[in-house]
Amino acid sequence: MCNLYSHTSNRSAIAAMVRDIKRIQSGLDNLEPQPGIFPDYPAPIVRNTPEGRELAKVRWGLPSSQKALYDAASRRADKLRAKGKDVDFDELLKMEPDSGTTNVRNIFNGTRWNSHWNRWMGVENRCVVPFTSFSEFDNTFEDGKKKGDTWFAFDESRPLAFFAGVWVKDWTSVRKVKTGLETTDLFGFLTCQPNDVVGSIHMKAMPVILTEPDEIETWLTAPKEEAIKLQRPLPDGVLEIVAVGKKQDQAA
């Protein structure tokens, strides 16, 4: 899964690719480079809103499923009970930390929509996520240590492209224990089978990448049955490795 990417482009380049942006979130007049974007970081997206498309910064990591949180809270409750402590399970579940789900894969199996993700597959919850490179972790060793983060881009210049994303408004959860309950907007992006370039490092998945304005327009406007057809890998041979072993990436 992709848990690290970069965006070092600018607002004008985004507007040239995404049609009809109506609003710019306050404070985004200058979009600073982000050479290392990690889960739970705020990052730029272009989202559909009732007032039209908006360029905004939103936290990365969609709500996890109720089952995942229930299972995590149950494990924590069992540990507390084993220590002889009383457990208010409803309160424990309410306060169960959810750091978020960054990548979304199993949305539609050909006949049935996943109930957790389907509620956010309407046009109103669609977004695109600008990026210039993304990383997958390479667990193989070189000179006695893991190669680590391997960065992919279309070429050494790191041209702008977009992930197909989903966003959720005003979600209340515990992202971190120390901050408690928070209400915030969240986003994540779709993944799919990898092409040969990404698959040489990470065999399970790659982000769903949109490279043309028409693809972006389809993702932001089409019915879900049409939009989900974009959940496919780039052709083999597209993308290249542009950096290895760094936690941040940007063109020289």
Angle 240-208-223 from CA coordinates, rounded to 5°: 155
Q: How far apart are CA 21 and CA 3, in angstroms?
A: 27
CATH topology assigned to domain 5-63+100-244: hypothetical protein yedk fold (3.90.1680)
Q: How far is CA 248 from the centre of its chain?
A: 17
Structure confidence at residue 197 (pLDDT): 97
Q: How far apart are CA 153 and CA 240, in angstroms?
A: 6
Sign of dihedral through CA atoms 113, 117, 121, 124? positive
For residue 117, the tally of other CB atoms under 10 A from its CB is 20
Angle 99-109-192 from CA coordinates, rounded to 5°: 55
Q: Reduced to 3 states, what is the DSSP secondary structure of residue 230?
A: helix
Q: How far apart are CA 161 and CA 156, in angstroms?
A: 14
CB 138 within 8 A of CB 163: no
**DSSP single-letter state for residue 108:** B
- Give pLDDT < 70 ranges for the chain: 141, 143-144, 252
Q: Where are the domains of the chain?
A: 5-63+100-244, 66-97
Strand runs labelled E in 125-251: 126-131, 133-142, 145-153, 161-174, 181-192, 206-207, 209-210, 240-244
Q: Which two tokens stand for residue 117?
A: 């993700």
Which pLDDT tens digit goes with each residue over 149-183? 999 999 999 999 999 999 999 999 999 889 999 99
Structure confidence at residue 29 (pLDDT): 79
What are φ and ψ of residue 192, in 5° steps? Answer: -155, -175
Structure confidence at residue 30 (pLDDT): 82
What are φ and ψ of residue 93, in 5° steps? Answer: -65, -40
Q: How far apart are CA 89 and CA 76, in angstroms?
A: 10
Structure confidence at residue 229 (pLDDT): 97
pTM of the model: 0.93
Q: How far apart are CA 81 and CA 61, in angstroms?
A: 31
